[in-house]
Chains A and B, each alone.
Chain A
Amino acid sequence: MASPAKTPPTSRLTPAKAEAAEALLSTPRPAGEAAWAQEVRAAAEARLRAMGAPARRDEYWKYVDPAPLLAGAEADVAGGAFDAVDGPAAHVGGAAPALEGVEASTLGAALSADLGWARALFGVLELAGQEKVARPLAALSTARAAHGFALRAVGKAPAPLRIVNAAGFARHLVRVESGAELTLLETGAATNTLFEIDLAPGATLHHIRVQEGARPAAAAQVFARLGEGAALRSFTLAADGALTRNETVADLAGDDASAHIGGAVLAKGATTIDSTVFVTHSGLRGESRQVFKNVVDEGARAVFQGKIFVRPEAQKTDGYQISQSILLSERAEFLAKPELEIYADDVKCSHGSTTGAMDPEALFYLRARGVPEREAVSLLVAAFVDEAVAEIEDEALADLVRARVAAWMAAR
């Protein structure tokens, strides 16, 4: 497919970036994999060397210093947000889960075999996602990640599948076949998490993620490709942690595809949470929504970088993006960079961003009715965040996320 701009706006490869890339690659490639997988890994290594490690001076890292992400601090937070959900749990590093309608194997098994669908996916969407912006941490995952799962949904799964990440890399390959539907619930923190998600025509994937608890710097990336009429429903609750960089890269490749990417960010203390989204419309009549709500308290920083990129052939695109924040303290920061890049002439795209303190009128109204200030603030924050949480279609799962928001406010 022709693209208007072929060269990503990568900053120049400096000696420091090259050196940092070498350091990232200093561990050996996972052993015992099939020749094709080794080729993919070798290509990713070359890619990473060519672009260098991310640095603060890169435009894409304007608001967040990536240095802590390169230090490789061990993150290991289990997270029990979805413990109450009836469904199998897959622990990264452990055995593949068993769930009706899903063919599951470990990443290691998938890369040691000649699994056609996995071969068509591993490193492929990551590479495609490098087209407009250099994403060195994604190339690093392709080069080095040894653990994770390969999941192929062939029917409508009867229950959600839980994925619990562990320290180090977590790399997941997900293919949802035509007409199939799968719900993934993700908790736990890896230093570098990456999903490649391929949705066949008419496929649906719900991906709901909770990142919470004290944890060191972590990057999580999602690369998704949507076939004709496919639907991606992605939601992330990110709370606290030293530095969290969540990147979602989605290409609505087929006609009539639909991607909803929601996020709620709860940040306080020495915390930076960055939600970066890049939605590409390649097919006709694609519909995309980005809904992000940030609650930022004393000392913390939240970042939103959201882009809607519409290719010339993607007529009748309907793109929407909103990022809003409530600052609960004077020492709280929200930085937003909304972007539209549109090459088709018959599209509807809009974006908005707001930031401000809690509405004092609403707060007084509640207090004048007898609601103590603390409870009133929690109620107003919950209502604010709920516009993003409501993006979760399953009410029971949305309620579990609401409970995590309430717990965060109660502990505040």
Chain B
Amino acid sequence: MLNIDNLHVKLEDEGAPILKGLSLDVPAGEVHAVMGPNGSGKSTLSYVLSGRDGYEVTAGSAQMDGEDLLAMEAEERAAHGLFLAFQYPVEIPGVSNMIFLRTALNAQRKARGEPELNAAEFLKLVRAEGQKLRIDADMLKRAVNVGFSGGEKKRNEILQMAVLQPRFCILDETDSGLDVDAMKLVASGVNALRSPDRGFLVITHYQRLLDHIQPDVVHILHDGRIIKTGGPDLALKVENEGYEGLIEAAA
């Protein structure tokens, strides 16, 4: 479903490469985790896949269902079914959560040639999904992420994911800033979306999120490359022994 091959990426205005030949395949129905120490290129991977400006791909490819992701604008990738849950969700003063979500959903539907949802249909959908994540009507009315706690922001990301129903989800350090209860809520939101035709890439520094979102495959990212791939036990190994041993073994 998601196929990344030999991806080389650098910042547009800097010379040093960040991703140096990253390859990764996530088939539909699977959850893959990418773990790595700080500075290994985790966030760059999420941003370059989702189409943020400022990165330059110098070699390699990234495809989703056989189509070239890198040739698309960010909004086209989203309409194509790619979703990034941000590590730091952005505050947008003056734009209510409801307007934001409805604009996004209908823009995607329009791009795909599907009928747009009317206000009543949309409200019903958002309320139902919001309830599962304990996001009440008041939070929906407030400006996007403005004044939200860390946990509220992350729950809001998962709400967006639930409403937009993407085919492939990237979770960028979704566990950062969450207490255990919030993490369970977020994880159950993600798990509810797991399905045979949807793929996930869960990017995290720590193993603890993976207790709640069980991955099928775990990749270790270091210095812009995947240095090891294994099962869920690989995450436990990182938790117990740290990254050092794995990095040395790969060297």
- Show the binding face of A for B, using Cβ within 8 Å: 360-362, 364-373, 375-376, 379-380, 382-384, 386-387
Surface stretch bound by A, among B6-14, B34-42, B61-69, B101-109: B101-109
Check if B92 is an interface residue, CB within 8 A of chain A: yes
Chain B residue nearest to A383 in the complex (CB): B94
Chain B residues, Cβ within 8 Å of A364: 52-53, 74, 90
Asked if B53 and A379 sit within 8 Å, CB to CB, the answer is: no
Asked if A369 and B92 sit within 8 Å, CB to CB, the answer is: no
| Residue in contact with B107 in the complex, picked from A370, A382, A384, CB distance below 8 Å | A370
Asked if A366 and B94 sit within 8 Å, CB to CB, the answer is: no
Chain B residues, Cβ within 8 Å of A367: 51, 73-75, 78
User: A298 to nearest B CB, angstroms?
Assistant: 20
9 A-B contacts (beta carbon < 8 Å):
A360-B53, A368-B50, A370-B104, A371-B103, A371-B107, A372-B75, A379-B95, A383-B94, A384-B94
Interface residues on B, range: 20 to 34
Check if B160 is an interface residue, CB within 8 A of chain A: yes
Asked if B89 and A370 sit within 8 Å, CB to CB, the answer is: no
Asked if A368 and B73 sit within 8 Å, CB to CB, the answer is: no
Chain A residues, Cβ within 8 Å of B84: 368
Chain B residues, Cβ within 8 Å of A371: 75, 103-104, 107
User: B39 to nearest A CB, angstroms?
Assistant: 21
| Residue in contact with B78 in the complex, picked from A362, A369, A384, A387, CB distance below 8 Å | A369
Chain A residue nearest to B50 in the complex (CB): A368
User: A370 to nearest B CB, angstroms?
Assistant: 4
User: B53 to nearest A CB, angstroms?
Assistant: 7
Inter-chain CA distance A276–B183, complex, in Å, is 52
- Show the binding face of B for A, using Cβ within 8 Å: 50-53, 73-75, 77-79, 84, 86, 89-95, 99-100, 103-105, 107-108, 111, 143-144, 160, 164
| Residues A370 and B92 in contact in the complex (CB < 8 Å), given A360-B53, A364-B74, A379-B103 | no
Chain A residues, Cβ within 8 Å of B164: 369-370
Asked if A383 and B107 sit within 8 Å, CB to CB, the answer is: no
A366-B100, A366-B103, A370-B104 known; 15 new pairs, CB 8 Å cut-off, are A361-B90, A364-B53, A364-B74, A365-B144, A366-B104, A368-B52, A369-B107, A369-B160, A370-B79, A372-B73, A372-B107, A372-B111, A375-B107, A384-B94, A387-B94
Asked if B90 and A370 sit within 8 Å, CB to CB, the answer is: no
User: B151 to nearest A CB, angstroms?
Assistant: 19
Chain B residues, Cβ within 8 Å of A368: 50-52, 74-75, 77-78, 84, 86
| Residues A365 and B90 in contact in the complex (CB < 8 Å), given A370-B111, A370-B164 | yes
| Residue in contact with B93 in the complex, picked from A360, A376, A383, CB distance below 8 Å | A383
Inter-chain CA distance A202–B100, complex, in Å, is 41
Inter-chain CA distance A154–B73, complex, in Å, is 60
Chain B residues, Cβ within 8 Å of A383: 92-95, 143
Inter-chain CA distance A367–B164, complex, in Å, is 13
User: B172 to nearest A CB, angstroms?
Assistant: 11
Chain B residues, Cβ within 8 Å of A382: 94
Chain A residues, Cβ within 8 Å of B53: 360, 364
Inter-chain CA distance A375–B94, complex, in Å, is 15
Inter-chain CA distance A264–B164, complex, in Å, is 34
Chain A residues, Cβ within 8 Å of B107: 369-372, 375
Chain B residues, Cβ within 8 Å of A375: 103, 107
Chain A residue nearest to B143 in the complex (CB): A383
Chain A residues, Cβ within 8 Å of B160: 369
Chain A residue nearest to B85 in the complex (CB): A368
Chain A residue nearest to B95 in the complex (CB): A383
Q: Which 6 A-B residue pairings sit nearest by Cβ, starting from the closest?
A: A383-B94, A370-B78, A369-B104, A370-B108, A365-B90, A367-B74
User: B82 to nearest A CB, angstroms?
Assistant: 9
| Residue in contact with B94 in the complex, picked from A361, A365, A370, A386, CB distance below 8 Å | A386
User: B238 to nearest A CB, angstroms?
Assistant: 28
Chain A residues, Cβ within 8 Å of B94: 382-384, 386-387
| Residue in contact with B89 in the complex, picked from A365, A376, A384, CB distance below 8 Å | A365
Inter-chain CA distance A301–B92, complex, in Å, is 26
Inter-chain CA distance A356–B188, complex, in Å, is 40
Chain A residues, Cβ within 8 Å of B93: 383
Chain A residues, Cβ within 8 Å of B95: 379-380, 383
